[in-house]
Amino acid sequence: MPTTRSNDRTFDARPDRIDLRDRPYQPKLVSLPPLFPDLESIRKYLPDYAKALVLDQGREGACTGFGLAATINYLRWRNNGYSLQGIKSVSPRMLYHMAQLYDEWPGEDYEGSSCRGAMKGWNRHGVCSEALWPSCNEAGVPGFVAPGIGWDKDAAQLPLGAYYRIDKASITDLQSAVVEVGAIYCSANVHEGWFIGKTEDPQIIPWQNNKPVGGHAFAIVGYTQDGFIVQNSWGAEKWGHHGFAILSYQDWVFNSTDAWVAVLGAPMSVLAPETISPRSSLDTSSSLCGPAGLASSPGRGFSYANPEVQPLPEDKAYLCTLVLGNNGIPINRLLTSENAAKAVERVCRTEPATWLGNEPSDKPCKLALYVHGGLNSEEDSVQRIRIMAPYFRANKIYPLFLTWKTGALESIGGILEDSTRDIFRSLPSMRDESVMSKVREALDDARDRTIEVACEHLLVKPIWSEMKQNASAAAFPDAGLAMLAGHLIALKQQFPKLEIHLAGHSAGSIVLGHLLSLLGESVPVSTLSLFAPACTVEFAVATYGAAIKSGKLQPEAVHVDIMSDERERADTVGPYGKSLLYLVSRALEVRHKTPLLGMEWSWKSNSPQDQWSADDSSRNALQAWAGNIKGMSLHVHDKRREYVSTGAGKIRLAHGSFDNDVTVISNMLQRIRGGELLAEVENLAY
């Protein structure tokens, strides 16, 4: 249900999406009391509790945060022997903000959030006190307020413990959870009957099949014969009996959406992470005390000679990467930033400016932007950043990375493997040495041609097209690349001696081409390093060639590392017997055999007649590119480098190996520095 407004209140709680990984609550086999809590406890404790811990969200639709805060506050009060001593409210603002950040529903109004989103946030970050993260600014206006110093330490004192999703259709399961724990976190579609105002006694919310006005989250803290006792967040003196009312069982069954039961975790002597986990599930792997929360190192097991180049914590890695989603829309992964635009500003402007401001003002300062290729998930990209970024910093280069949405491109090998297994089951093994070499080669080519034709039907070609569309859309006004370009221009104005260096691997060359078009002549590019660029030659002419003509990019500043054609043909993508670039050229681009910048024959005038498509566009693009390459540095990696060093070991030279190659990355850093490295590249295994 979309965000709605009624009776001067906002309703924006959304039903949880189905997730089969949710752990279901199993009630204990014990008899339930007819009433919970008992009347004596209600009379004894309710008034004082209500004065201190019944919250008021006002007109703001932040109920997922306020409802969970009510649940947590109640659990703490109950665990404290029903004493208010030392109990201050947790931050509804933090919980609501986390719920919004963990509820990423592309194309929808982000004003709302779900219970699961709030639970994910509590699971990942804990929750701090309202004093450290207030719901209103100093003028008393509700809205986002940045947290105070120490919020992360405080939040780790109140982590989520065990939690389960309750079958909302089972009244007895819900009652059992309330008796076992004390309070449960719920949401439902509310109706006009909820607008009861203040009452002298606990009143049953009137319901006669009223039409819902919107979704709302709240705590259930007990039950009677008539229904559940609801603790609302509309003020102790404004709604119900001290903020409580009874929701009839019929009303609940008809209108409920979600129910969760949780207990408090044990305090931890760590800092709550500032960054949002991209993991989609509510599980222990992304919890405060899980692997993500404790920030396990991707370089674990490697002995670093220089402590300056040890991998960054995940939080620090996110502070130097711009994360883009579908259509190039920026995603906020910084918990303490109000929205995506503020996160982009911090990553692309504030953090670099702080670092650059500490560099000597009489010398050029350097910023390098690195864009990964297409065969990467967000988590893969962040792991790379954690290992790569320290080498830039240790060599007096500010590292900025772009983590962008490449769709399911990282799964292409698996898609091809699964989809073509039956097709090639009857073919002899390509490792069968009894098959003559020429026959084996013919079978390989036949197999590859079959895969190329099949790619459109296997959804591989649409995946590539979507990835290119994401890169293109990122350059639209208000999209991620446009924001990045604006901040780079501002940094250049703030630091006139700033050098901008660009580097990209594979499909990253497509993103960089679009970025170049946005920078304008006021931001010249000092060096451009491309590794196995997967962009078409036609695109390179339109972007890199145009930048050279405008003077924004000098040919001598362009450095390209590619594999020889022999090595491209020796590489594989799943069952496809050639490299990704061959697959793109022959199956994923609009035209069969489209020239790509990362293929050796695109740099030669004597390519085989059948290497490229015979149409005029390919021929014209190759001729135009040939007019740009004078002065550029091209490094062709051939069979003499069959294996490359990651620092931690050797891997085969392949399309994806360039940013694991110590030699390649060291050379790039030397170019950017303009001299010898201050800190050597030790390990690029991730």
Q: Give burial (CB, 10 Å; 0-12/13-18/19+) of 554.
A: middle
- 563: part of which helix (H) or strand (E)? strand 558-563
The pLDDT of residue 389: 98
pLDDT at 477 over 70: yes
Reported as a pLDDT band with limits 50, 70 and 90, residue 424 is very low
Q: CA–CA separation, 146 vs 133, rounded Å?
A: 7
* Per-residue confidence (pLDDT) for residue 361, from 0 to 100: 80
Class (C level, CATH) for 36-264: alpha beta
For residue 281, how far is the Cα from the chain centroid? 13
Answer for the pair 560, 596: CB distance below 8 angstroms, yes or no: no
Distance CA 71, CA 349 (A): 39
Between CA 311 and CA 318, with CA 317 as vertex, the angle to 5 degrees is: 165
Tokens 């005029």 sit on residue? 616
> What's at 78, amino acid-wise?
R
So what's the pLDDT on residue 283? 61
pLDDT for 282 beyond 70: no
Q: Determine which helix (DSSP H) or strand (DSSP E) holds 178, and give its type and residue range.
A: helix 171-181
d(CA 307, CA 298): 15
Using 50, 70 and 90 to split pLDDT, how confident is the model at 10? low
Rg of the chain on CA atoms, in Å: 29
3-state helix, strand, coil in the chain (%, to 5): 40, 20, 45
Range ranked top by mean pLDDT from 2-6, 65-69, 200-204, 265-269: 65-69
Tell me, what's the pLDDT at 609? Answer: 77
Mean pLDDT in residue range 100-117: 69
Res. 306: pLDDT tops 50: yes
Q: How far is CA 351 from the centre of its chain?
A: 19
Q: How far apart are CA 659 and CA 654, in angstroms?
A: 11
Amino acid occupying residue 311: P
pLDDT in tens, 321-378: 999 988 899 999 999 999 999 999 999 999 999 999 998 888 899 999 999 987 778 8
Q: How far apart are CA 632 and CA 118, in angstroms?
A: 52
Which amino acid appears at position 97 of this protein? H
Mean pLDDT of 640-668: 96
Instruction: Give pLDDT tens digits for 488-539.
Output: 999 999 999 999 999 999 999 999 999 999 998 889 999 999 999 999 999 9
Domains of the chain, by residue range, sit at 36-264, 295-415+447-673
- Read off the DSSP letter of residue 529: E
Q: Helices 412-420 and 460-473, interaxial angle, to 10°?
A: 160
Q: Is the pTM of the predicted complex or chain greater than 0.85?
A: yes
Report which of residues 211 and 392 the model is more confident about: 392
- C-beta contacts of 445-450 below 8 A and 24+ residues apart: 445/577, 447/575, 447/577, 448/576, 448/577, 448/578, 448/582, 450/420, 450/423, 450/424
Token readout for 281 is: 């599930």
Specify whether the CB–CB gap between 557 and 528 falls below 8 A. Answer: yes
What is residue 436's predicted lDDT score, i.e. its pLDDT? Answer: 38
Query: Which residues have C-beta within 8 Å of that of residue 323, sequence separation ≥ 6?
Result: 330, 331, 333, 378, 403, 404
Question: In the numeric block, which tokens belong to residue 499?
Answer: 């050098």
pLDDT at 427 over 50: no
pLDDT at 13 over 80: no
- Residue 37: cis peptide before it, omega within 30 degrees of 0: yes
Q: Are 522 and 383 in contact (CB under 8 A)?
A: no
Q: Please state the rounded mean pLDDT for residues 21-25.
A: 85
Among 108-122, 406-420, 525-539, 563-577, where is mean pLDDT lowest? 406-420
Three-class SS of residue 213?
Answer: coil
**Residue 110, exposed/middle/buried by CB under 10 A (0-12, 13-18, 19+)?**
middle
Average pLDDT over residues 634-648: 95
Contacts of 68 (CB under 8 A, 6+ apart): 92, 95, 99, 115, 118, 119, 122, 185, 217
Q: Does residue 106 register a pLDDT over 80?
A: no
The closest alpha carbon to 218, from 200, 199, 201, 205, belongs to 205
pLDDT digits (tens, 9 = 90+) for 233-279: 999 999 999 999 999 999 999 999 999 999 999 999 888 998 887 76
Q: What is the pLDDT of residues 152-204, one digit of tens each?
A: 999 999 999 999 999 999 999 999 999 999 999 999 999 999 999 999 988 99
Q: What is the mean pLDDT of the chain?
A: 88
Pure H helices in 280-377: 314-318, 340-345, 351-357
Q: Is a pLDDT exceeding 70 seen at residue 224?
A: yes
Question: Token pair 């240790």 is at which residue?
Answer: 394
To the nearest 10 degrees (0 to 180), the angle between helices 39-53 and 63-79 is 130
pLDDT at 396 over 70: yes
DSSP secondary structure of 436-467 = -HHHHHHHHHHHHHHHHHHTTTTTHHHHHHHH
φ, ψ of residue 505 to 5 degrees: the values are: -115, 135
More confident residue, 160 or 288: 160
Residues 6 or more apart whose CB falls under 8 angstroms from that of 29 comprise none
Beta strands in 420-573 (DSSP E): 498-505, 525-531, 558-563
Q: How far apart are CA 669 and CA 529, in angstroms?
A: 10
How far is it, in rounded angstroms, from Cα 625 to Cα 512? 17
Residue type, 658: F
Entry field: residues in the chain: 686
CB contact at 8 A, 42 and 183:
no
- Would you state the pLDDT for residue 575? 85
